[in-house]
Amino acid sequence: AAELGVAPADCIVFEDSGAGIAAGKAAGMRVVGVGARAAVHGPDVVVADLTQVRIEAGEDGTIRLSVG
């Protein structure tokens, strides 16, 4: 995030491992756990797979992420 000039709070991590989920949380990023095993590691939200993720660009340049 720092190299890209983006605040960690504005980042979203997609991760399936405990170590990756922990790293994302420790960095202050929001974490989407991918797969059933990810849930036990405490991500912010869990999806079965990435087909459940939708990303939409708003006309004002904002990005909207929806899961589920």
Summarised one tens digit per residue, pLDDT across range 14-37 is 999 999 999 999 999 999 999 999
Question: Is 1 inside a domain boundary?
Answer: no
Give the total number of structural domains in the chain.
Answer: 1
Structural domain range at position 45? 8-67
Residues in contact with 53: Cβ distance below 8 Å, sequence separation at least 6, in sequence order: 14, 32, 47, 65, 66, 67
- Domain for residue 53, yes or no? yes
The answer to the question of residue 3 being in a domain is no
Does 54 fall in a domain?
Answer: yes
pTM for this one? 0.86
Residue 16 falls within a domain, yes or no? yes
2 in any annotated domain: no
Q: Which has the higher per-residue pLDDT, 67 or 8?
A: 8
